Amino acid sequence: MIIQVLVNGIILGSLYAVVALGFSLVWGVMDVINIVHGTMIVMGAYIAFLLFQTINLDPFLSIPVAAFVLFFFGFYLQRYLVNFVVRAGVFISLILTFGMDQVVINLLLVIFTGDYRSVTTSYAGSNFEIGGVVIPYVRLAIFLISILLTVALYLYTTRTKIGNAIRATALNRDAARICGVNVPRIYGITMGISAALAGACGCMYATLQTFTPFDGGYLIGKAFVICVLGGLGTVMGAIVGGIALGVAETLGATLFDPRAQEIFGFIILVLVLIFRPKGIMGTK
Amino acid sequence: MVQESKKTIIAFFLICLGLTLFPFLIGGYWLRVATGIMMFATITLALNFIAGFAGYAAFGNVVFMGIGAYTTAILMVKAGIPWWIGIVAGGLLSSLYAVLLGLPILRLRGHYFAIATLGVNEATKQFTLIYRDLTEGGMGITLPLTSLSISAFNNLVYFIMFAILLACFLTSYVVSKNRVGYALRAIRANEDAAQMSGIRTTYYKVLAWALSAFFTGLVGGLYAYWFTFIEPANVFDIMIAVKAFVMMLLGGGGTVLGPVLGAAVLELISELVWGEFLRVHMLIFGAIIVLVILFLPSGMMELFRKRYSLSALLSNLKERSI
Amino acid sequence: MLLIQGKKLSKHFGGLPAVDQVDFGVERGEILGLIGPNGAGKTTLVNVITGVFPATSGQVFFKGEDITNLSPPKAVKLGIARTFQIVQPFPGMTVRENVAIGALFGKGSHEKDIKTAFQDAERWLEFVNLGQYKNAEVNEINISHRKRMDLAKTLAMEPELLMLDEVMAGLNTKDIEEMMALVQQINRELDKTLLVIEHVMKALMGISHRVMVLHHGQKIAEEIPEKIVQDENVIKAYLGERYAKQRAKTA
């Protein structure tokens, strides 16, 4: 049923949007492609896993915890590592974050081993039905929380002082500095927020499928495509890109070969880059 | 054309002589390590054409290794073609791929080009997985074993790799000294100004990428012949591309010796660490990358030229912070 | 004989006509001054001629051949070169190397080898009086030197038509005088045709054979310098309608 497929695609897309949100923020604000982002999502998943195993905390309730922990992780990562290469250009920051990613992944490996983990709640099998369309409760929660996070980020960047400082710094770092913005700190906060979003995303990711420390690469791949599709640096871009990808993948898997799902993403990526590099909603 | 000092030329010939005699003095494990080092040196030198000289971060360059490997494997297994023709075909096909893709993709700048090449690598890998009739998909291709003895075979592979490395090195040298090199450097420094100065930027960029693809393809083909088994995951492995990048940065991008140096140092460390600390291998590798990027962004060649002290490196770091 | 000629040349950005139906021509061997208030479309005109932007409509002829929408490298190979308002050097290279790029890839450079190119570069650096800085890094020299380096590079491209875009901007009085003299030297001794965009009126009027005025993308006057300053449209464009009317009243 086409509506079921669309709904599935949109729900998947909403999670994808959150996957890309933090990634797009960092890329748009400081022109850094943060390879660690994918692994930060995985870190969030492990936090949810730990809390679920030890105190049986619902993964969705782990979100504030994961967000909190990862905020500081991202903040200090930025201040004491990434800030040194922000000015240096494409490859440098990409390779630095790649190196950092390897370190983090291997630390996770040591701590949690490479076994497949997941978080299965008691209501994991139950569904919500409306008009013949089946929506698992877990996915409904994901959808609602994703919207919440997206709206929250939008409001934060437009209505708060720090949020506006972030946007100003994104537009013109030096001009912002002259106006009194503490740029290194703002960058730290930006990365912190990005990490917090990743952490929240990770908690939700943990409920969807099994994961290992190596999932970061796969998630970053999705984030890339979404940012290119939707355009960098805007919340709307992440939403549009995320949902577009979610729907495209779900449709592609249903209509064509499920194996070709991945390849769609990349072909779309290269095509969009060639013909419309700014993305659907992009401004840069 | 050759302007180097007598000392440099003599040193070069001595090193070549040493490398030629190497397999007859030391065999087995270290021979394999040396071949691996030369392999990475070639891949890094090849990457250097497009990323070092021209400044285009082709993170997905390993795609040419995959194409080279699969071309050789398919030609050998399905068409019975001799290995050395297979390898050359691998190099040429990779070049063609670069020319065809380069025309649209080299129009992109900065991050976008980097991502596009990653996308190309991934898409090509996926095609290899899906188009099973040709490529055996995820099961990989097993190449015919040689009729030579093991030690003779290892020696052969070593010398072919050496030959490819030498060819790539000399090409690098020639490029760095003639107008192609200057054009690429100008493109890297300021592409718009380069155009306005009369440089046909598209032509030179495509040329750089085609050269890069050719040598990487040759290496891929030899790799297939050497290991006799290839699958998409290991010849389209993004880690190879990243390693090459770090080696290039470590040694110094845009120089001729830098990539070789960086490859040698990193691969040696990699071998030693892998030998002793298997579990934390990647962790140490990651940490090395971080340190190199932070403290030696211009690579080792810069270090040799300017002889930095530790305190100078630290203050350099602070300067680069925002 | 017209070296370069434009017929109804237009360039629109979205709805905005940056260059609007401009007819122009530069005689071989002359210096044509191009002036106009900020935003008049002067740099855009040069960009369209050199192929940086495609023309929306109209044509450009160089030595009789249609060169409309030719790519920048091709325009250079034909003999057209220009400098930039904000100098675009090659960072990381020395002054000498910067100029050598021009020598290596400009007009008639097909067979030129590296050694000759560098010798040419040094000659041109001497010509613009920058010889002593040949081994300096570009970011080490000041703006006046950078402008002269840019000029040297452009000369190394051996153009027939040289277009200078505010080459005197940011210079002090003494440097301006030296630059004026240099431009005239290029015109007379090297027999080059020049199109000079300038805001420094005194300098421009002093060296131009003819002056063309753009305003809001349109050509509003094309005269010898003495007549330009009296042209009513020019005065209106620069000083406003009210002033022009006042002048007309008191005249």
Q: Between these two residues, A257 and A12, which has the higher pLDDT value?
A: A12
Please check the confidence at residue B135 and state whether its pLDDT lies above 60: yes
Give domain status of residue A280, yes or no.
Answer: no
Which among C141, C157, C173 is the end of a domain?
Answer: C157
For residue C57, tell me if it sits in a domain. Answer: yes
Do the Cβ atoms of A263 and B127 come within 8 Å?
yes
Instruction: Give the tens place of pLDDT for each residue, C2-24.
Output: 899 999 999 998 888 889 899 99
CATH code of residue A231: 1.10.3470
Residue C84 φ then ψ, to 5°:
-115, 150
Quick check: B263 and B172 in contact, CB under 8 A? no
Could you tell me which residues come within 8 angstroms of residue B216 by beta carbon, excluding any fewer than 6 positions away?
Answer: B42, B43, B46, B47, B61, B62, B64, B65, B68, B94
Which residue, of C157, C175, C193, is where some domain finishes? Answer: C157
Residue A199: CB partners within 8 Å, gap ≥ 6? A40, A41, A43, A44, A47, A63, A66, A67, A68, A69, A70, A71
What amino acid is encoded at C184 in this protein? Q
pLDDT digit string, tens, across residues C65-90: 999 989 999 999 999 999 988 888 99
Q: Please tell me the predicted confidence (pLDDT) of residue A258.
A: 66
Give rounded-to-5 percent helix, strand, coil for chain A: 80, 5, 20
The phi and psi torsions of C218 (rounded to 5 degrees) equal: -110, 150
Of the three residues C135, C157, C179, the one that is the final residue of a domain is C157
pLDDT given for residue A167 in this prediction: 87
Predicted pLDDT of residue B7? 83
The DSSP code for B61 is T
Asked whether residue C248 is domain-assigned, the answer is no
Whether residues C65 and C173 share a domain: the answer is yes
C4 with C67, same domain: the answer is yes
Instruction: Kindly report, residue by residue over B221-261, the tens digit of the pLDDT.
Output: 999 999 999 999 889 988 888 889 888 988 888 889 999 99
Q: Can you give the pLDDT at residue B1? A: 45
Q: Is residue A244 part of a domain?
A: yes
In this model, does residue B172 exceed pLDDT 90? yes
Residue C249 belongs to a domain: no
Do C136 and C172 lie in one domain? The reply is no
Residue type, B180: V
Residue A239 located in a structural domain = yes
Q: How confident is the model at residue A262 (pLDDT cuts 50, 70, 90)?
A: low
Residue A283 lies inside a defined structural domain of this protein: no
What value does the mean pLDDT of chain A take?
A: 86
Contact call for C114 and B199, based on CB within 8 A: no
- C81 min Cα distance to partner chain B (Å): 8
Q: What is the pLDDT of residue A281?
A: 57
Residue of A nearest to B289 (CA): A99
How many separate domains does chain C show? 2
Which of B105, B123, B245 comes nearest A267 by C-beta?
Answer: B123
Average confidence (pLDDT) over A233-249: 85
- Are the C-beta atoms of C22 and C8 separated by less than 8 Å? yes
Q: What is the pLDDT of residue A90?
A: 66
Q: In the predicted model, what is the mean pLDDT of residues C132-155?
A: 89
Average of per-residue pLDDT values in chain B: 87
> Per-residue pLDDT tens for B260-270?
999 998 888 88
Count of the separate structural domains present in chain A:
1
3-state helix, strand, coil in chain B (%, to 5): 80, 0, 20
The domain of C126 spans 88-157
CB within 8 Å of B162: residues ≥ 6 apart? B19, B20, B38
Point out the residue among A33, A105, A266 whose CB comes nearest to the CB of B122: A266
Look at A225 and A202; give whichever has higher pLDDT. Answer: A202
**Do C71 and C175 belong to one domain?**
yes
Tokens representing B35 are 């071949």
Judged by average pLDDT, the poorest of C53-62, C132-141, C231-240 is C231-240
Condensed to tens digits (0 to 9), the pLDDT of residues A84-127 reads 888 877 677 888 898 899 899 999 998 998 889 988 888 878 88
Residue A98 contacts B where some CB pair is shorter than 8 Å: yes
Task: Quickly state the pLDDT bin for A249 (edges 50, 70, 90).
Answer: confident
C225-243 pLDDT, tens per residue? 888 888 888 887 777 776 6
> Mean of the pLDDT values across residues A6-29?
90
Higher pLDDT among residues B311 and C141, named by residue? C141
ipTM: 0.87
- CATH of the domain spanning B6-320: 1.10.3470
Domain boundaries, chain B: 6-320
- For C124-138, what is the mean pLDDT? 89
CA–CA separation, A174 and A10 (whole Å)? 39
Residues of chain A with pLDDT > 90, as a percent, come to 36
Average pLDDT over residues B102-109: 87
Residue A284's pLDDT band (cuts 50, 70, 90): very low
Segments forming the whole domain that contains residue A131: 2-275
Probe site for chain A from B59, B101, B115 (most A CB atoms < 10 A): B115
pLDDT at position C129 over 60: yes
Question: pLDDT at residue A261 above 70?
Answer: no
Q: Does C243 fall in a domain?
A: no
Provide, as residue numbers in chain B, all residues whose Cβ is less than 8 Å from the Cβ of C117: 179
Biggest CA-to-CA distance, chain A: 58
How much is the average pLDDT of A176-184? 88
Rank C44-53, C135-144, C232-241 by mean pLDDT and report only the highest: C44-53
With a CB cutoff of 8 Å and minimum separation 6, the contacts of B135 are B70, B74, B128, B129, B141, B232
CB neighbour burial string for A148-181, b if at least 16 within 10 angstroms, e if fewer: ebbeebbeebeeeeebebbbbbbeebeebbeeeb
Mark whether C60 and C163 lie in a shared domain. Answer: yes
Q: Which helix (H) or strand (E) holds C221?
A: strand C218-223
Judge if C92 and C128 occupy the same domain. yes
Asked if C103 and C127 sit in the same domain, the reply is yes
Under a CB-based contact definition with an 8 Å cutoff, are residues C116 and C166 in contact? no
Are C57 and C95 in a shared domain?
Answer: no
The pLDDT confidence band at residue A271, using thresholds 50, 70 and 90, is confident
Q: Is the pLDDT of residue B301 over 90?
A: no
Whether residue B187 lies within 8 A of chain C, CB to CB, comes out as no
Cross-chain Cβ contact B197/C153 below 8 Å: yes
Q: Quick check: C96 pLDDT over 70?
A: yes
Which residues have C-beta within 8 Å of that of residue A179, sequence separation ≥ 6? A168
